[in-house]
Amino acid sequence: MHRIYENNDIVVFWNSEKCFHSRRCVTASPLTFDPMRKPWIDVTKDKNSNIWQAIESCPSGALSCTYRHDIDVKMDETNLRSVAYDGDKEIGECDYSSEGSVISIYHTGVDPAYEGKGIAKRLVYTILEYAERNKMEVNATCSYAKKLIADNKSNCLHGGEA
């Protein structure tokens, strides 16, 4: 399961397949990470610095974080894509095709002026989360999405619980 959690300043990515439940995040920032709450991550409950430090302590790499850079990412189901906006300006997209219960990501692109800010990852994770919530399978021919998905799966083999 892939999830994105945002506040005004940061974006937290969680990949449950990589998580082996060391609970270091819960110990480091119990206001943010509470397994008894749904959703269990709430990035509005603690200071960003505490959240970031908690994520840094994650031994599995299931949690990661980046700054928002005032960029909004939205799902555009009508046009089969997720799209990133800086205000009203479209600055990135992740396109997919859909056949039955399978989504195939075939393109991810971000305006060169915005590269290196984690926007492509947000675009792909938005589609992954959408697919999982709708019980759909995801494939990728886009090299970036394919690598992100493969890295997430290969890093799951820690010997701990997933």
Residue 31, number of CB atoms within 10 A of its CB = 14
Same domain for 139 and 77: yes
Range of the domain at 116: 72-154
Residue 113 to residues 86, 122, 133, 144, Cα–Cα distance (Å): 11, 16, 32, 18
pLDDT at 117: 95
Same domain for 86 and 34: no
The structure's pTM equals 0.85
Domain limit, last residue, from 19, 44, 67 = 67
Per-residue model confidence as pLDDT tens digits over 13-26: 999 989 999 999 99
Domain assignment of residue 12, yes or no? yes
Looking at the 3D structure of the chain, how many domains does it have? 2
Same domain for 147 and 76: yes
Per-residue model confidence as pLDDT tens digits over 14-59: 999 899 999 999 999 999 999 999 999 999 999 999 999 999 999 9
Same domain for 63 and 86: no
Domain assignment of residue 161, yes or no? no
